[in-house]
Amino acid sequence: GDSINMWLAPSEIYYSQDSISNRFGKSTEHAGVLIGETLDDILSGNCSIDDIGTIEVVYRYGDYISADNRRLWIFKKLEELGECKEIPVTIADGISPLKCAVGLDIEVRGDPGGHLWRTWIESASSSSEEETDQYDSDDSDEEDTLHRGFARMSLSSYRY
């Protein structure tokens, strides 16, 4: 069918596998680049969030799931760091059946690389401790608290 484009918060999108490579694959535009370095490039302004490319999601049992797991990892980190609230997605009909370990968290195989995003996380979390008491985004098993958290977020488009 035709793809529908919509905007979603990265934190609402599920990964479709339980681990990802720390580098982009050979067939991608960023072939061989470490995902953490790509994240650094966006934070430092060396490349734009638009350079990452729109991810595809499928809608299954009330959840949005993506097979574009490395790009999703980057978008989820950007959201955690306060650098993006929503991303454009393309709704796809199907997803490769090989990818079926659905979850909101994923393990990176190897070091994702980069350094800016790691310190960014620390400064972001330490400076906003008071505000984050309402919901703890690290608590992946408390999904209802997370969902209440979404409702409170002002969902604007990209912030550069």
Q: What is the pLDDT of residues 51-78, one digit of tens each?
A: 888 999 998 888 999 999 999 999 999 9
What CA–CA distances, in Å, run from 128 to 14, 89, 116, 154?
A: 26, 29, 18, 16
Q: Are 114 and 43 in contact (CB under 8 A)?
A: no
pLDDT of residue 47: 93
DSSP bridge pairs for 5: 90
Q: What angle do CA 101, 158, 22 make, to 5 degrees?
A: 40
What CA–CA distances, in Å, run from 90 to 4, 57, 62, 137?
A: 6, 6, 16, 25
Give the closest residue to 67 by CA, choosing from 59, 79, 77, 56: 56
The structure tokens listed for 95 are 């997803």
> Taking phi first (over 0 means left), then psi (-120 to 50 degrees means alpha), and beta for anything else, what does residue 105 get?
beta
pLDDT of residue 152: 37
Q: Identify residue 33 by its one-letter amino acid code.
A: V
DSSP bridge pairs for 108: 20
C-alpha 102 chain-centroid distance: 14
Torsion angle in degrees (nearest 10) through CA of 121, 124, 126, 130: -130
**H-helix or E-strand containing 150?**
helix 143-152
Output 158 or 31, whichever has higher pLDDT: 31
Output 160 or 100, whichever has higher pLDDT: 100
Q: Identify residue 88 by its one-letter amino acid code.
A: P
Above 70 in pLDDT, residue 133? no
DSSP class of 50: G
51: CB partners within 8 A, 6+ apart: 29, 42
pLDDT band at 44 (very low <50, low <70, confident <90, very high): very high
